Amino acid sequence: MDYREWLPKILGAAFSSVVGDYRGYDPSVDATIANEFTSAAFRFGHGMIQEFYQRLDPNFGNSSFGALALQKGTLHSDVLVNEGGPDPLVRGMFTQNVKRPQRVTTTVTENMFGSTDLSTINIQRGRDHGHPSYSKYRELCGMGVATSFDHLSREILNTATREKLEKIYGSVDRIDLWVGALLEDPVVRGLVGPTIACIVGPQFKRTRDGDRWFHEKLSGSDISLPAARYHKWISTNGKNSSAVVL
């Protein structure tokens, strides 16, 4: 599901070049998780969090409980259980449009965990982990050396956004990786910018190609194993739902 459905939508046209088709286990590949992947780039999903999530009844009409506010549901599973269970929320996710990650909602910056700002945590995490600046990663990803904020115009199209970055950071060499990468306009048919695609895509490729037990490596009599595992997953998790939405 990750490689066939989710990742191609995240990386868009970049998927074929940075991940591509599976060609078998490669023992020379180091599948170690990169620091910049786990502590910055893969946290682009924080920008996809929405303030409200639709809840729909079995006929895909509006639930009597209404949309679920992220602030209300975070760390409060009792709210979900007592207000119709997970099914209405799952139905809503089938119909609700995805949010691009380039802008973080105020729920994430002001109300995620009490008064904690998740964006600030991400920025500080990158500094704690010793990330080079965004401009360094941008250069490593083949987008050239940036010596001024105007040089970011191909990746960050909005002039006002670049001006705000200049006001806050003063120099392109001081932009935090998570901030700069998240603000990039998405690649063609994708949801993330080129720097995140450059970090996330190759990591998924290494994780897949360097895994001797990756499910697509199975062949012969084992070819039905992925389908069997999926069937078991559906059967197990279906016990906790009153209906399976197709």
**What's the token pair of residue 197?**
């695609």
**Tens of pLDDT, residue by residue, the chain (246 residues):** 789 889 999 999 999 999 999 999 999 999 999 999 999 999 999 999 899 999 999 999 988 899 999 888 887 889 888 998 999 999 999 999 989 888 888 888 887 777 778 999 999 999 999 999 999 999 999 999 999 999 999 999 999 999 999 999 999 999 999 999 999 999 999 999 999 999 999 999 999 999 988 887 665 445 555 565 666 666 666 656 555 554
Residue numbers in the known binding site are: 46
- Buried/exposed code over 57-69 (b: 16+ C-beta within 10 A; e: otherwise): eeeeeebeeebbe
**What's the token pair of residue 89?**
């929320």
Instruction: Show me where the domains of the chain are located.
Output: 2-48+132-215+222-236
pTM: 0.84
Residue numbers in the known binding site for heme b are: 46
Three-state secondary structure of the chain:
CHHHHHHHHHHHHHHHHHCCCCCCCCCCCCCCCCHHHHHCHHHHHHHHCCCEECCECCCCCECCCCCEEHHHHCCCHHHHHHCCCCHHHHHHHHHCCCCCCCCCCHHHHHCCECCECHHHHHHHHHHHCCCCCHHHHHHHCCCCCCCCHHHHCCCCCCHHHHHHHHHHHCCHHHCCHHHHHHHCCCCCCCCCCHHHHHHHHHHHHHHHHCCCCCHHHCCHHHHHHHHHHHHHHHHHHHCCCCCCCC
